[in-house]
Each structure stands twice: as structure tokens, then as C-alpha cells.
Structure 1
Amino acid sequence: MKAILVNEQTKQLYIGQAAEPSISDGELLVSVKATALNRADLLQKRGLYPPPQGASEVLGLEMAGVVEQLGAGVKGWQPGDRVFALLPGGGYAERVAIPAGMAMRIPDGFSFEQAAAIPEVFLTAYLNLFVLGGLREGHTVLIHAGASGVGTAAIQLAREAGAVSIVTAGTKEKRDACLALGAGQAIDYKAGPFAAAVQEATGGRGVDIIMDFVGAPYWQQNIESLATDGRLIIIGTMGGGKVSELDLGFLLRKRLQVIGTALRSQPLAVKLKLTEQFVGFAMPRFADGRLRPIVDSVWEWEQANEAHAHMENNHNTGKIILRVHD
């Protein structure tokens, strides 16, 4: 089958041949119609984020497509069903095999491109807000990179849970987009330290949960921005991973929790349970329009290098989609 591969010398993407996936008992073979970019793809193509053991070496952490074949024991699905799913890898290809329990039914009226914009970012946001963060009505959440795929998903999920979100974003256009999705306040992180703005917005209380992709450069301000019993959830370290000073006493006095997380490396059983929980919460809301995937742009898979450059230059608000051709 055709797939987008990485030239190991130039790190450029090209369409080449990859091994056909085979399905085991309890799995679906899906013809991929659309996939989406994630920052993990940018790292993987540079050799900095290898896939989990046993996962496809092909890039791509999510997809939307059509069921081609059922493995033994699969119930509730049939060939021709439109599905989307989170993947450990392999989304940049014509076909992929997935556990049937990971498949989610594409809502009526959704295109493959819209559906492909959901799995990685919404499941990541759901995991970090609800499962790890303990999000509940009345909480306040600080979401860094608010206009990113995960950020735009988190704003909507927090809103639907009855929580208030504060976001950081670097341009007025991105801040306006976050506010339009339901963020309570949008902070320009380029204008100066955000911690003071967070304290002002919360009346000096701080926030209950922080979702952070930046890492070390934000460490001190994040800690200062948390309310008592707050949780800092570290999703990425785009700005660096080593903190020069750590005041453990401050963590003790405010009873703070610091949580590191990665969705891709979670065991399958965890992903299956997460998918089930997410479907129960989110799918009725996608169906009636309360939740919606935010698509920044759609590219043909022959334009994969240009699409990657679009993400590398931080030009996107929401998800960047690749159409996959037969």
C-alpha cells in the first residue's frame, strides 16, 4: 500500500510503499480517508519520538475512514461503516488495523476531514482535564497554547463541564478564536509574564488545573498560578525539560500536584476505557453541535511537507488535516 514515509537523510516526507496491515481477532481493517498532524509527528520524523513497541513506523496518530474488513469476534461493526480512531502510529497510510473498541462512529453530517480532527486532541484534552485533572463544575483551568488542536478541544470540554478556562496565545487572531470557543479570558504571553494576569483574572485565588505544553520556561509562573490543591499537568516540553530550581516547600504549602502524561504510550486497556468514557460524554455533544472539531486547513497528502512546515511555523489554529488518496 501507499504511505507517507520519511527520507532519513533529508527528513523530508515522500509517498512510497509500506507493508499492508493485517488484522487480528477483534480488530478492524480501515481504509483511511483523512489523517491529521500532531507535534509528535514532527518529532518522530527527526528521530526524537520513536513509536511504541509493536506500533507502525509510519507517522500518524489518528485517522478517519471506512471499515473494509472485520476480524474474528467483532460485533457492532460492518464493512462500509464510517469510523475514526486514535492510533499509536500508521495514520499516514492507505489502510490501518485498529482494535474494534478504539473505533468511534463518525457523526452524521461530518466529513472525514472533520472526524480526523477529533481523536488525538479531544482524547488528550479529556484525559488531562477529567481523568488526571479531576475537572468539575466551577473549576478554573489555565490552558497554554489555547489555539492549538488540544487547546481548542480543551476550551470546549471545559465549557461543557461548567468550568472556566483562561488561555495563553501569541496573536490577537488566536486569542479571539479561543474566546469565540468559550474561553473566559485570553492572555498574550508575548506581552509579559502571564502569572500576574492569571492572579488578576481569578481574584488572587489561582487556577485549579494547568495544561502545559511548554515546560521549563513556564515552570515558576505555572506554580505561582495554581490555587491551593491545584494540579499542573505537563503534556509537553516544547521550551525545554530541565528546571534549574525547584522549591518543594511551595508545593507542600499549597498541596500542589505535578503530573506528567503522554497518551501515545498508554496501555491499550487504558485507551479503550478512555475512548468509552469520551464517547459517552462527547458524541451526543458533537451530534447536536455543542462540540465541534476545529479544522485549520486541509492539505492533499502530496503536500505533507508543506503541511508540516505550516505547523512548525505555528501558523495553525486548530487541526491540520491530510487527505489520503487510494
Structure 2
Amino acid sequence: MSTEDIGEVIDFLPNEEVDSERIRQYSVAQKSQHFIDSLKEYERIGKDLNNKVNVFSGSALLLGCEGTDFLGFAENVALNVGANIVKLRLSQALSKAVDTPLALRTLFEFASRNSPSLIFLEELDIFAEDATNNAAVLKAALSRIDWALDRTAFVGYTTRPRNIDRKIRQSIDRTYVFEKTTTEDRIRFFEAALTEREDLDPKSVAEVTEGWSYSDLRHLVGYFLLMKPREQDQQTPSTLRAQVESSNILPVGKPQIAEAVFKEIEEGYRPKLEEVEEVYPNTLLDQLYLMAVGDNYVRTQEVIENLNKSMPLSADEQQFLNKYPFLLQGEAEDRLTRLLRAKKTHDRLSRVLGR
């Protein structure tokens, strides 16, 4: 690759420019200390450690949920061992115009020439998928990593560990697993980020945001700092929870919330029973059932049967229910009675009209 091409696909952050003041996820920074200690000890012992068998080189794999502060791990390592951070620009490295295996080789070569360096490979699974050219190139490059000899270390992360080639996992020295943010993570983060907000108690905010990811917490802090403080000294748990719920933040750390939102969007609006009863008085229901039966008796019957059994509705059935929301009204027996009555009326009218 030319110098210009390298500049397009590789990000180089000198050690002195690594932000030491950034608020990192506490549990991630704590685990990074284990890797830091290993690198420092390996640097002290040197190549003698691997005389009989290669037991360590200087590589780590991070596994965790979406929104984990993986960058915080890499930054903490770089700051403590005096390394530059070298990364691939994913948008460029994965474009059709770029030879991805060549970009990977260039990444490792560039890091070696600019040591001491920490290679930080984001979304590792993209480059380490089983039985691909990228995985073969990556495995070969990892086999040449040696912190004691050339002061080059490697940290890669993924939120999709099943997609990583087993041989890649076998070639990496350490694997660190991160789950959701801990209570201490959240308390420490809010204590550091919300120092100017006396109306917000970090412990209370931490309780309300249980299960949220590090990236979710950052978005919430941004929301709080852009809102004017409340007049009272401390928000009550109920008002705090209401404010968090109204923040318009969809936490990636709680996928069940996102799933509920997506389902509601995909299935469309489903009116409440009270709304249906108000709009469709009992005297009109027989005529409305007759209209639905005339449109599509089979589909009307299927929807009613699924409603009566509390079964999930397909997308087509949801659309049909959106067209005829009055089918929600009444008990199971009442729906079937009206359906049969509408079917008899429809058949009789068809005979009279000669259809």
C-alpha cells in the first residue's frame, strides 16, 4: 500500500494523545490491569519465557455485550505500557475498493514499524470468520506478535463470538469476558459525569439504569446535562424513573425493550378494548361482522380463533385486525356467535341475490 492508502485505512494515535481523563467503564479498566501486568512481566522476563514452548506473545480477545467500553480496555493498556494505538478504519477497510487481507497485513506491519504499539481491532468477527482468507491472514499475523521482541501487542473485541474461527481463538493469549454494567460501574460513572447536578443522586440513577450498557449511560448523561436541573434538592425515585423513561433513549443493554418497540412498530397499532367498545356500540357489531365475513370469511375466522386462544398474530392477520378492530370486542363465545350469525346472513343474502 502507498503512504496515502495507509492513511485512508489506518488510524494512528500516539501514546501522548491517548485521553487519560476519559471516564471509562470501571470493571473493564479493572480487567485490563491483568493484561497490563502480563505485558510488563513478559517485557521484564523477555524471550526466555518462550524457550521451550510459546506460552505468551501479547494478545487479548474481548467478548461482551453491545455497548461495552472495549475502547477503554485498549486505552488503559496503552497508557500503562506506553504504547501507541493503531486501528483499522472499518468503513474504509471493508469497502469494495480495498483489499481487506492486504489491509490487515498492512495494519500489523505499520504497528511493528511504529512500536511500541497496541493494535486495536474492532468488530473482530468480521475479519475472523471461519475458513476465510481474512481469518488465515489474521492468524498468520497474530503468530508474529511478540511484545518482548518488537513491542507490539494486540487487542480485538467482538459481540458475536460464535462467528470467530476457532483457530483464531486458540492463537490469542488471554480472553476477557464482560457482561452488563455492574452497579459499581454505573455509580462510579455517574459520580464522575454528573458532578454539577446536585439534583441527581448517582446511586439512585444507577438503580434506575440497571442492565444498561456503558454506551447507554453516556447517552443518558448527555440527556441530563442538556436539561435544566430540577428546583428541588434531590429527585425522588419516581420522578427520576419518569425522567429516564422520557429521555428517548433506547438502551442497547436491555434488548427486551428494543424488541417490544420493534414488535409494536412491525405489527402496527392495536387499539385498546375500551377504545373499540366506545367507537363500535353493540348494535353495530352484527353489521360490522357481516362486512368482515363478506370481505374474507376464512381470514376473519382465523383471526377470531387466534384471538380466542391468545395466540400471536401474523403480520397479515395484524393488518386484517387493523382494518376490522371491532373483532377485539367481546368474549370468545360472543365473537364466535357473531361470526356464525354473520356467516348465515351472508349465505342467505347470497342465495337471494343469486350469487
Return the structure number with greater helix share.
2
Tell me the TM-score normalised to structure 1 length.
Answer: 0.29
User: Higher Cα Rg: structure 1 or 2?
Assistant: 2
Tell me the TM-score normalised to structure 2 length.
Answer: 0.27
Return the structure number with greater strand share.
1
